[in-house]
């Protein structure tokens, strides 16, 4: 009911954190380019195969970005669509099933809609059928101006692999669309080549496969390497087209690519005796970058965070007030934020501890400690998920009328 929204708003407002005043509004009127990087996990960053970096471009981008080492995906069965949902709304996806399918009829106040009101042209570029994950309906609910779906791309047998259009061709063909958009724009690119089963033509294979007992993991590193290259070329092309300087970039991994099913191979690659539940949680980290061309104060940040925190961060960079919004994340760049993330399965991580599957671990060593050590955050973790679910199941944002 409409009194529930008051309860939820009191909760989310009490968790609001003020922005860093030096960063508030620095991206005002700039284009925003999001790149949703398919299935990439942080363990590939600064890691090698036979002496070759898996992600040379993304490694170098760290020096020139705000890079978040302890950033977790928070998705569940809705995979890419969950990540889209979380980032657009700063709400959690569902515990099971996909909110994109079950709640596309809800009222939302999503990031594209907010930015549209600020004069932005908003779009998604992704070479798949528009109805996949019910995107056509959900994007409408989020207020996107346009979805450049598979019909906006020339897809042939030669330029496709695995799930469809190869990333390099996808980015190259997207340049023409970008150039026609009114500025400032907010555009999200969703890559595809680094998707299970991680297939690649030989000519696109830039590093060796691994030699573990998992063919999936062995091939994964090569498709990650390919995606890294495709993004590097995209940056060069944006520079050549004059679209780079006046844009800010947010790059993030959408969800894991290698499931626990491949733990034995993963432990071989990471040279660990075994992958414990603690390690499994740590493996849910995905790379996250905020890259602002010309910015001098970029740094690598240790704050524990997740996809839920992206929306308030972008809003603050644009100088858009959001203290009163129903959102469950906090600005990643706020000096006042708590280092904390809750995953969709109820696991949570702080600066010092990891809680998962009813056990509490020291974050620094992975050593199991008394469950009471995790208690200070367990109530918040439960309430975050509880109130967010309440918003979705009760369609509460329909009561959130503009003041
Ligand atoms: C499909 C792509 C992949 O369009 O976004 O979806 P996923 O299987 O990763 O959720
Ligand atoms: Mn995905």
Ligand nearest to the CA of 192: 1
- Give the Å distances, CA to CA, from 134 to 45, 80, 98, 100: 32, 12, 10, 6
298 CA to middle of ligand 1, Å? 31
Which atom of ligand 1 approaches the CA of 132 most closely? 4
| 377-to-144, 150, 307, 369 alpha-carbon distances in Å | 36, 44, 19, 15
Q: Strands 52-53 and 48-49: what pairing?
A: antiparallel
ipTM above 0.90, yes or no: yes
pTM above 0.90, yes or no: yes
Query: Which tokens is 380 given?
Result: 């918040």
Distance from C-alpha of 252 to C-alpha of 41, rounded to nearest angstrom: 9
Q: Which ligand is nearest to the CA of 132?
A: 1
80 is catalytic: yes
Residues 280-302 as b or e (16 or more Cβ within 10 Å = b): bbbbbbbbbbbbbeeeeebeebe
Average of per-residue pLDDT across 216-221: 98
Cα 143 to middle of ligand 2, angstroms: 22
**Among 76, 85, 192, residue to substitute to test ligand 1 (most atoms within 8 Å of Cβ):** 192
The bridge status of strand 340-342 relative to strand 247-253 is unpaired
Which ligand 1 atom sits closest to the C-alpha of 79?
10
Q: What is the mean pLDDT of residues 123-127?
A: 99
Q: Which residues line ligand 1 (CB under 6 A)?
A: 79-81, 126, 128, 132, 190, 192, 195
Q: Name the active-site residue from 12, 55, 75, 80.
A: 80
Confidence of residue 380 (pLDDT cuts 50, 70, 90): very high
| C-beta of residue 149 within 8 angstroms of C-beta of residue 190 | no
**Residue 296 pLDDT exceeds 60:** yes
Binding residues for substrate: 195
**Where does the pLDDT of residue 403 fall: very low under 50, low under 70, confident under 90, or very high at 90 and above?**
very low
pLDDT tens digits, residue range 333-351?
999 999 999 999 999 999 9
Residue-wise pLDDT tens digits, 238-276: 999 999 999 999 999 999 999 999 999 999 999 999 999
């Amino acid at each position: 009911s409409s009194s529930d929204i008051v309860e939820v708003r009191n909760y989310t407002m009490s968790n609001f954190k003020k922005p860093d005043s030096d960063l508030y509004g620095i991206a005002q009127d700039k284009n925003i380019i999001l790149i949703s990087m398919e299935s990439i996990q942080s363990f590939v960053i600064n890691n090698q195969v036979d002496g070759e970096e898996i992600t040379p471009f993304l490694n170098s981008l760290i020096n020139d970005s705000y890079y978040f080492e302890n950033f977790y995906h928070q998705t569940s069965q809705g995979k890419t669509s969950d990540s889209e949902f979380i980032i657009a709304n700063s709400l959690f996806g569902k515990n099971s099933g996909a909110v994109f399918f079950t709640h596309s009829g809800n009222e939302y106040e999503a990031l594209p809609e907010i930015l549209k009101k600020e004069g932005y042209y908003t779009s998604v570029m992704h070479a798949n059928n528009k109805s996949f994950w019910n995107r056509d309906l959900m994007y409408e609910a989020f207020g996107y101006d346009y979805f450049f779906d598979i019909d906006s791309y020339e897809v042939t047998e030669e330029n496709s692999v695995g799930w469809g259009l190869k990333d390099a061709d996808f980015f190259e063909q997207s340049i023409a669309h970008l150039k026609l958009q009114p500025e400032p724009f907010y555009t999200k690119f969703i890559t595809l080549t680094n998707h299970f089963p991680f297939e690649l033509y030989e000519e696109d294979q830039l590093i060796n496969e691994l030699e573990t007992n998992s063919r999936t993991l062995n091939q994964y590193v090569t498709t990650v390497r390919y995606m890294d290259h495709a993004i590097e070329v995209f940056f060069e092309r944006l520079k050549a087209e004059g679209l780079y300087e006046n844009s800010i970039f947010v790059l993030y991994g959408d969800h894991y690519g290698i499931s626990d099913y491949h733990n034995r191979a993963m432990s071989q690659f990471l040279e660990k005796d075994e992958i414990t539940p603690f390690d499994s949680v740590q493996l849910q980290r995905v790379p996250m970058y905020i890259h602002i061309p010309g910015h001098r104060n970029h740094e690598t940040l240790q704050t524990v965070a997740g996809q839920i925190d992206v929306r308030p961060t972008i809003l603050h960079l644009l100088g858009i007030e959001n203290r009163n919004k129903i959102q469950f994340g906090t600005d990643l760049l706020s000096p006042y934020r708590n280092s904390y993330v809750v995953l969709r399965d109820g696991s949570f991580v702080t600066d010092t501890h990891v809680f998962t599957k009813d056990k509490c671990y020291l974050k620094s060593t992975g050593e199991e400690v008394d469950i009471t050590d995790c208690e200070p955050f367990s109530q918040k973790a439960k309430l975050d998920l509880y109130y967010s679910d309440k918003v979705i199941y009760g369609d509460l944002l329909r009561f959130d009328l503009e003041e």
